[in-house]
Amino acid sequence: MGSNHSFEEMMKAKTLLGLRDSASLPEIKARYRNLMQKWHPDKHLDEVETATKMSGDIIEAYKTIMEYIKQYEYRFDEAFIKEKTISPHEWWNERFGGR
């Protein structure tokens, strides 16, 4: 089960939203909200047509990204969770003992 979007569409959406190569869901949502506030047609009364087009592009980019991340499979195996939640001190102790 994959995304219905091409690589080029994904990269265009990522670029439009100003996302890094790796982004959390809260970061994606924050970028979307900030861009929509910036480009809302009500804030650009002298350029309503441009702002309307940009708002539409931002909405489409957000939909593309959200569709893509819905396909993500979350890992719940013990090794992965421990790797992501262990402190540097615990990591050191597991590998080298309490010395």
CB atoms within 10 A of CB 49: 9
pTM: 0.76
Total domains in the chain come to 1
Q: Give me the pLDDT at residue 6, please.
A: 92
| Percentage of the chain exceeding pLDDT 90 | 66
Domain assignment of residue 17, yes or no: yes
Least confident of 1-10, 18-27, 31-40, 72-81: 1-10
Domain assignment of residue 97, yes or no: no
Look up the CATH number of the domain holding residue 12.
1.10.287
Can you tell me which residue has the tokens 């979307």?
A: 32
Domain assignment of residue 45, yes or no: yes
Domain assignment of residue 27, yes or no: yes
Q: How far is residue 43's CA from residue 87's CA, in Å, rounded to a whole number?
A: 46
Domain assignment of residue 39, yes or no: yes
Q: Give me the pLDDT at residue 95, please.
A: 82
Q: Give me the pLDDT at residue 2, please.
A: 53
DSSP per residue over 71-89, as a string? TPPPP--HHHHHHHH--HH
Q: Give me the pLDDT at residue 1, please.
A: 46
Domain assignment of residue 55, yes or no: yes
Mean pLDDT of 14-27: 96
Q: Give me the pLDDT at residue 98, please.
A: 64
The domain of 51 spans: 7-74
Domain assignment of residue 64, yes or no: yes
Q: Give me the pLDDT at residue 45, please.
A: 92
Mean pLDDT of 43-54: 95
